[in-house]
Structure 1
Amino acid sequence: MTTMTETSARFREFKMPDVGEGLTEAEILKWFVQPGDTVTDGQVVCEVETAKAAVELPIPFDGVVHELRFPEGTTVDVGQVIIAIDVAPGSGDAPDPAAAPAQEPVESADAGDGDAPKGRTPVLVGYGVAETSTKRRPRKGAAAAPEAAAVAAAVQAELNGHTAPAAAPASAPAPAVPAQAGAPDGGRPLAKPPVRKLAKDLGIDLATVVPTGKDGVITREDVHAAATPAAVSPAEAAPAAEPVTAAVTEAPAAAVGSARETRIPVKGVRKAIAQAMVGSAFTAPHVTEFVTVDVTRTMKLVAELKEDKDMAGVRVNPLLIIAKALLVAIKRNPEVNAAWDEANQEIVQKHYVNLGIAAATPRGLIVPNIKDAHDQTLPQLAASLGELVATARDGKTSPAAMAGGTVTITNVGVFGVDTGTPILNPGESAILAVGAIKLQPWVHKGKVKPRQVTTLALSFDHRLVDGELGSKVLADVAAILEQPKRLITWA
């Protein structure tokens, strides 16, 4: 889809793109530029988080940042303008954003009614007020703005442990804000969409906000000024000399909950995980089988490979051998590598293996996969695993890297867990959980000896994989880990 628009010969807008597979929204995690910064074609301007991953967005043209449309932490729909760029800086004064709603229209109660608001020249929708528009009359509530700001300053000073100077004599208390302070002639208050969203998030009724913007438009500062005194009770906000209770210093406006509970909004990767796991658990009939295996020889092989010059520069660990063992088991039992097509009621056999590796990241659990892992040699597989894990930990995994998986491995053993019953990654046929490798007493050659032992768990979709096939796959993986030379004889 198109991600930029041209508002004039000078200003261009960049829209939130669909960064992968039909996603509809993304959260702006961080801006790397600010208004006034110079940017060049291909320069990364922000980082966004979709339901699948964090992605950096480059700007597709040169210029100077004119406006950032949304603050960090805002969830933006695909197709919405997120940044405006002045592509011809120095060609004249930039238009006042509040007076040029072509980039961000100001909403009013009169929009769409067919008649222009009183005192305004009719114009095309989305192109603001003509230059001949008349000035609005000062509102009755406009005089309350200094008093409201003074009250806000006094409350903030109390929260910081200081006493603010009185804004007015005690005999002249600040007047209350009229119920329709921000509404033109009793209509809908004027405010840009981001300001409306901010007010909604803070629980502020725009009709009670005193506007200070041009032509009576409510600004972000107006909303914040209205939110500050609302954060305390009337008794606490009264005299500046009275102490504010300690409870007010807790729970900022953005926090949700109490001292005994914390509520965390579910969005981005974590939201996608929750939806995917619920869908998988209640769509695919899961079956899980377990096997405990002596992996002493595998651990010896890992130690030997670390010293092998052919493996120099790559990380060698038990997960590498387990991944190779699973690939060999799939080669021996190809029917396990399939997907269920609900729409056509068909089983889709996959003649390739995109091996997923579950990775814990600060944003939650993600499952990137190694494309065509079945074709990779052991050194290539080791390099792919290292790159996959490093990218995931840095939060740079792309949506494409997480799409198209066929079978997954989840290594719960790194947390000291013996095993688990993993839920299938949606669209995949099987997932192998690897438990902790521990030194345990084990019967070896007729004698009880200390051996390296682990437990494997294989969950599979019973529509695709019956008990016999699932058991064969799990038994093959266990046999290879017990006797790693089978990687050669069975490959």
Structure 2
Amino acid sequence: MRREFKLPDVGEGLTEAEIVRWHVKAGDAVKVNQIVVEIETAKSIVELPIPWDGAVADLLAEVGQTVDVGAPIIAVDTSEPSEQVQAAAEDMVPNPPEEGAVEPGAHGSPAPKEERQAVLVGYGVKTGATKRRPRKRQAARIPATPVANPSRVEVDGQPAPAPTPPAAGASVLAKPPVRKLAKDLGVDLRDITGTGPQGSITREDIHAAAEAKEPVAAPERVEEERIPIKGVRKMTAQAMVASAFTAPHVTEFLQLDMTNTMETVRRLRAFPDFAEVKVSPLLLVAKAVLTAVKRHPMINSSWDEAAQEIVVKHHVNLGIAAATPRGLVVPNIKGAHALSLPDLAKQLAQLTETARAGRTQPAEMAGGTFTITNVGVFGVDAGTPILNPGEAAILAVGQIRDMPWVVDGELAVRKVATLALSFDHRIVDGELGSMFLRDVGAMLEDPLRVLAWS
């Protein structure tokens, strides 16, 4: 019995998805819950399992094709008991007839490939195997005068003598029509070695010389490239536009001395608790943010337009913006506020690895309450980040670099970075935003404050 698996809604309100990769092909045996295809939704790459045992009958969607939810994407031949046939009837769709025959081996059809052949006007179009008329071969001739013709290897089984170009001042053997053709094409007959009888120059010799003189055309320059807007990139664009034109953004900047943070990172790397995870400055930034959120809960809230309420979240789902080849994704660490520092480090490492591999699931990006974007990894000092929709604030961390800094009245070289905090001015006023940013900066300048304020 043939059953068709239809594209499901793997996210909230998903309407379409793109086929990214097939793990099976026609004829392959499949098992229940075996991953058969990867799709890209508006949020992420998702792997889909097949719900039946059987053999793949046909792949109904191609890689790169965008498919609507509910459309069949793969057909599977299953061996089900007869009493289940009626229950599965809704999944059965008759195969559409193919238009014409295809080549042997393509789609399992044994028919030979047919092509259109021109016939007399008024008698329609004839189909059939196309045959080429055999090309006539010119009878080989032995020139009386040796001429240069490297393409002739032998004549009547004997090596052809190597002809030579006409000597300077010698007459050139060429018929009047050939001479006129040479003049029209701007070819000098004295530069040509004839391949005709007795070394005479033929029309083919003229055309060959003219083609040799023509400059090689430069490759066409591509002035632009068009990239379809779909999948993650399309969803990101829609979300950013909605955020930018819904929430009034304000951005504040703070430049700070990160020298003590960098020293703390170095010392943490030597601890056994962090032996199997990567410790980076982002870990301490995340911890400082979580601590500051505890001190200023309103920064971790959202605006409910329908209810005309501000919803203050007493949990922190910490989002980390990650750039991927398919667009920007913002997965979040659920319950980050309750994690120890080693556990937070492990979650950050796992989140980053999954995002870069394009395996972030929609559920991992839902429900975020506060976001950090690390633009410093791209060599950028600062920026004005746009809020992740539904959140009240986002923190951008710039690159950490050596800069002159005044320490105890003396000029010194220190590790300096810039923080940029964007917030929804409907919820967060200038005082709250400034105090939050000040506290994050204070903990990064002196990591001991994290212990004091936790």
TM-score, normalization: structure 2? 0.72
Is the CA contact (8 Å cut-off) linking 2:40 and 2:46 kept in structure 1?
Answer: yes
Q: Assess, with a 3 A threshold, how the Cα gap between structure 1 residues 43 and 446 changes in structure 2: closer, same or farther.
A: same
The aligned counterpart of 1:361 is 324
Is the CA contact (8 Å cut-off) linking 2:14 and 2:41 kept in structure 1?
Answer: yes
Q: Aligned ranges for residues 60-139 of structure 1 at < 5 Å?
A: 60-88=51-79, 102-103=93-94
Query: What amino acid maps onto 1:143 in structure 2?
Result: V
Picking from 278, 290, 294, the partner of 1:327 is: 290
Q: Assess, with a 3 A threshold, how the Cα gap between structure 1 residues 24 and 437 changes in structure 2: closer, same or farther.
A: same
Q: Assess, with a 3 A threshold, how the Cα gap between structure 1 residues 345 and 165 changes in structure 2: closer, same or farther.
A: farther
Picking from 372, 379, 387, the partner of 2:335 is: 372
Query: What amino acid maps onto 2:326 in structure 1?
Result: R
The aligned counterpart of 1:301 is 264
Distance 1:407 1:364 in 2: 20
The aligned counterpart of 1:32 is 23
Q: Assess, with a 3 A threshold, how the Cα gap between structure 1 residues 142 and 438 changes in structure 2: closer, same or farther.
A: farther
Following superposition, the deviation at residue 361 of structure 1 comes to 1.1
Following superposition, the deviation at residue 103 of structure 1 comes to 3.8
The aligned counterpart of 2:7 is 16
Query: What amino acid maps onto 1:281 in structure 2?
Result: A
Q: Deviations over 1:136-182 (max 9, x none)?
A: xxxx99735559xx6xxxxxxxxxxxxx95799xxxxxxxxxxxxxx
Q: Aligned ranges for residues 72-471 of structure 1 at < 5 Å?
A: 72-88=63-79, 102-103=93-94, 143-146=125-128, 165=132, 259-471=222-434
Distance 2:317 2:266 in 1: 27
Following superposition, the deviation at residue 88 of structure 1 comes to 2.2
Distance 2:62 2:3 in 1: 19
Distance 2:17 2:321 in 1: 22
Distance 2:224 2:127 in 1: 36
Picking from 43, 46, 53, the partner of 1:55 is: 46
Following superposition, the deviation at residue 464 of structure 1 comes to 1.0
Q: What is the DSSP-based 3-state SS (H/G/I as helix, E as strand, rest coil) of the residue aligned with 1:18? A: coil
Q: Assess, with a 3 A threshold, how the Cα gap between structure 1 residues 146 and 106 changes in structure 2: closer, same or farther.
A: closer
Distance 1:386 1:318 in 2: 13
Q: Deviations over 1:341-396 (max 9, x none)?
A: 11111111111100000111111111000001000010000000000000011111
Query: What amino acid maps onto 1:84 in structure 2?
Result: A
Structure 2: 5+ residue runs without aligned partners? 83-91, 99-121, 136-210
Distance 2:126 2:96 in 1: 27
Following superposition, the deviation at residue 70 of structure 1 comes to 1.0
Runs of 4+ in 1 over 6 A off after TM superposition: none
Distance 1:285 1:486 in 2: 32
Query: What amino acid maps onto 2:337 in structure 1?
Result: H
Q: Deviations over 1:383-414 (max 9, x none)?
A: 00000000011111000001110110000001
Distance 2:246 2:304 in 1: 12
Picking from 482, 488, 491, the partner of 2:445 is: 482
Distance 2:243 2:363 in 1: 20
Following superposition, the deviation at residue 105 of structure 1 comes to 5.4
Q: What is the DSSP-based 3-state SS (H/G/I as helix, E as strand, rest coil) of the residue aligned with 1:442? A: strand
The aligned counterpart of 1:219 is none
The aligned counterpart of 1:177 is none
Q: Assess, with a 3 A threshold, how the Cα gap between structure 1 residues 84 and 490 changes in structure 2: closer, same or farther.
A: same
Query: What amino acid maps onto 1:35 in structure 2?
Result: A
Q: Assess, with a 3 A threshold, how the Cα gap between structure 1 residues 487 and 143 changes in structure 2: closer, same or farther.
A: same
Query: What amino acid maps onto 2:254 in structure 1?
Result: V
Is the CA contact (8 Å cut-off) linking 2:259 and 2:416 kept in structure 1?
Answer: yes
The aligned counterpart of 2:186 is none
Query: What amino acid maps onto 1:46 in structure 2?
Result: V
Q: Assess, with a 3 A threshold, how the Cα gap between structure 1 residues 142 and 70 changes in structure 2: closer, same or farther.
A: farther
Q: Assess, with a 3 A threshold, how the Cα gap between structure 1 residues 450 and 13 changes in structure 2: closer, same or farther.
A: same
Q: Assess, with a 3 A threshold, how the Cα gap between structure 1 residues 422 and 37 changes in structure 2: closer, same or farther.
A: same
Is the CA contact (8 Å cut-off) linking 2:34 and 2:49 kept in structure 1?
Answer: yes
Following superposition, the deviation at residue 104 of structure 1 comes to 5.1
Q: Assess, with a 3 A threshold, how the Cα gap between structure 1 residues 467 and 66 changes in structure 2: closer, same or farther.
A: same
TM-score, normalization: structure 1? 0.66
Q: Deviations over 1:171-227 (max 9, x none)?
A: xxxxxxxxxxxxxxxxxxxxxxxxxxxxxxxxxxxxxxxxxxxxxxxxxxxxxxxxx
Distance 1:400 1:447 in 2: 51
Following superposition, the deviation at residue 106 of structure 1 comes to 7.0
Q: What is the DSSP-based 3-state SS (H/G/I as helix, E as strand, rest coil) of the residue aligned with 1:52? A: coil
The aligned counterpart of 1:185 is none
Q: What is the DSSP-based 3-state SS (H/G/I as helix, E as strand, rest coil) of the residue aligned with 2:10? A: coil
Distance 1:68 1:167 in 2: 41
Query: What amino acid maps onto 2:263 in structure 1?
Result: K
RMSD of equivalent CA atoms: 2.8
Query: What amino acid maps onto 1:53 in structure 2?
Result: S
Distance 2:393 2:97 in 1: 52
Q: Assess, with a 3 A threshold, how the Cα gap between structure 1 residues 290 and 102 changes in structure 2: closer, same or farther.
A: same
Is the CA contact (8 Å cut-off) linking 2:15 and 2:68 kept in structure 1?
Answer: yes
Pair member with larger Rg? 2
Distance 1:262 1:278 in 2: 23
Is the CA contact (8 Å cut-off) linking 2:4 and 2:93 kept in structure 1?
Answer: no
Q: Assess, with a 3 A threshold, how the Cα gap between structure 1 residues 145 and 52 changes in structure 2: closer, same or farther.
A: farther
Distance 2:133 2:352 in 1: 58
Distance 1:466 1:32 in 2: 52
Percent identity between matched residues is: 60
Structure 1: 5+ residue runs without aligned partners? 1-9, 92-100, 108-139, 151-163, 169-242, 251-257
Query: What amino acid maps onto 1:428 in structure 2?
Result: E
